[in-house]
Chain A
């Protein structure tokens, strides 16, 4: 008899339906798998055999053929175990009169018949729903991840025995209750701007960066709190909407880094070390393609500490995703596209010894060393970083007379205000923030008054700014005006925008 059971394979963030067809024939006992299964899938033979036996079920001593269809997709991982087991039961007539045609079975089996969680459950559920499936049996350990799926019957099972009892109707499993997502209902406890002492300029730059979606570069001596400032960035970003949260959860689910919450509530903050390879950063892998750090930072912040220490090729690889918000990774097995819309926050020392420009300590670097250090960050990458701010090396607590620092919540209010203005402005333009403006939007929304234009002209002459810097300054001035709730870009906004640049070009 032939049985057909549906389960899912993952390609990138997309689930692809796979039918497990099992034929149990009379003949010399054998057990074959066809349809491009990889080693982990083939090993399911032994897991299924033991799991059936240890769940009090019968492993048929017949000629068994299992086919995975469509045959042209490479099947990987252990998530097919449950489907193989159920199809075997069905084909060997141990599940009579049970209709499993419209049910998707997902899960890895332990030898004793327990169900183990799988990676990438959420993207599979979302894809399967799109394909018209509405009934799922999943490992109980994955239940939290599935709770946010509405309009679906999802049965979390602990073991194969439970699945069989449920299918037979002897002990039905309660379908999972759906939870609704409440934005901002969980907040990160550790980081908050109120813990950052001093640094008025850097705080302001952080606020502008988040308000306009601008990438940020912080320059300052070691140990001045650059990392701490960066960690506060997600706390002042707008709350995740359900769609955003679901998209981020999908990526994290595929990468297997989803927390106990089952869905991502907070914007991710990723800090890859500077030894990270291009593949680790952008995604890749041998056969199955994994998301890289930039995709894991999707919707949040990618923080690159000590920017010049990163490999040049790794940094250059960021340029295209910074522009497009997606990354396409091509491998022999096919091309996968992951979302990668993140805010880049980078930090670096002003020179190799870290003391350039400091009044307290003496810089021991030669100009050539400093130039070499700064040259490691290419111009095209710097062109994508709108804001450059210096982080102070001195404790200003005494000078600015203590007092409570403003907390993230208050800053977030202002950021949300500026974001709302931008949402209205760009409603029909397919972009969300000022940072994404192109030439067309610049000329439409960022007209400068005569005064503003004069300021920019004199800035060009005095500071030897590049032509590309012009657009950057105007975009930042637009965001500053938005934070100020001003329709027009006033001279003071332009002046402030001009002050966010690297103070001194060497050589």
Chain B
């Protein structure tokens, strides 16, 4: 894919000069067009006090060389002046001048919705997040991180459809956590990886925070799957509030440490999400037709008990349904396979 002269100039400014982020902004404002910066740096750079390469040919070679090095690795760069630069990002504080991406660039043009959760997401919330991501990804590109727990759950729901954007807290060359290297490859192949950092940069403490700002900035709304009172997911939620995005959260049991942050958000006015309908209807959408699920009489009975009772132990379900524990186990795993119930730890089940 070709870059315009302005884009080239922007890439050169961000990647080949030593200008800080603020100096870059000053320079971009000073010049009539970014291309002018590349053509006549002597007019603008001295004002900002930034050193630059004085030889014209060498400057062009620097820019071309950098673009070639990106292309060799299959990366592309989206600059703030590119046509497909995500519009919502322009309205956040300190929008990134450049984003590096790998994968399906067309996803940048889709409506985006963010699903995040802390690394210690309880199994039921993770399953639910997967389910939400699967259904929401029919209409939205799902924006999330690459961490374990809530993020992975969202990815596993959206990845089969390919509508998933994973924003990394490190450069595209790196992988954090390292154990998700293969997951990262799959996202690059079917979805999109994004990062505002130079490809070779590693994670630092602040890069997570900065990444969370992008998650919220890219999306129309944010769903918090699980969050402790101090967690990255809450930072994302706070950014979202700051940028005027809609915040949704799963309700958790009172007192469960992995869900306190979610409950706190709800207390402060976040929307409660218990089914995908909650989010679709908020945006005036209707969910695509649902496949009817074919259940036997006994399965209906057990599902009814689950819907009434919330999360229940298999033995309790068996007793209420008047069957033996192992008969109930068979029916419960049938419900699970049909996608209407889920098993969490300690032989407990709940309905969707």
Contact = CB atoms under 8 A, between A and B. Distances in A.
B256 interface: yes
B194 to A, nearest CB: 23
Question: Chain B interface residue count: which class?
Answer: 35 or more
Given A204-B325, A499-B332, A363 B120 contact: yes
Contacts of A400: 315-316, 319
Contacts of B334: 455, 491-492, 495
A390 B339 contact: no
Interface string B317-332: 0110000111101111
A100 to B, nearest CB: 64
Contacts of A358: 345-346
B231 interface: no
A392 B346 contact: yes
A458 B334 CA distance: 10
B346 A394 contact: yes
A204 B119 contact: no
Interface string A400-441: 110000000000000000000000000000000000000000
A496 B346 contact: no
A368 B337 contact: no
B344 interface: yes
Interface residues of A, number: 39
Interface string A475-507: 000000000000000011101101100011011
B46 interface: no
B319 A462 contact: no
B337 A367 contact: no
A77 interface: no
Contact of B337 (A357, A495, A506): A495
A459 interface: yes
B200 interface: no
Contacts of B179: 368, 371, 507
Contact of A359 (B119, B148, B326, B346): B346
Contacts of A220: 346
A362 B337 contact: no
A189 B338 CA distance: 45
Given A358-B346, A367-B120, A392-B347, A201 B325 contact: yes
Interface string B240-266: 000000000000010011100000000
Given A390-B346, A504-B345, A492 B325 contact: no
A455 B334 CA distance: 8
B346 A393 contact: yes
A350 interface: yes
A483 B311 CA distance: 30
A394 B123 contact: no
A220 B123 CA distance: 16
B315 A496 contact: no
B348 interface: yes
Contacts of B327: 492
A263 B337 CA distance: 50
B213 interface: no
B157 interface: no
A366 interface: yes
A493 B177 contact: no
Nearest to B121: A367
Given A201-B314, A495-B330, 11 more contacts: A201-B326, A357-B344, A357-B346, A363-B120, A371-B179, A394-B346, A399-B313, A462-B339, A492-B330, A495-B329, A496-B326
29 contacts: A200-B315, A201-B314, A201-B329, A204-B325, A204-B329, A356-B345, A357-B345, A359-B253, A359-B311, A359-B345, A359-B348, A362-B257, A366-B120, A368-B148, A371-B179, A390-B345, A392-B346, A394-B313, A396-B315, A396-B316, A400-B319, A455-B337, A462-B337, A492-B327, A499-B332, A499-B343, A503-B123, A503-B343, A507-B152
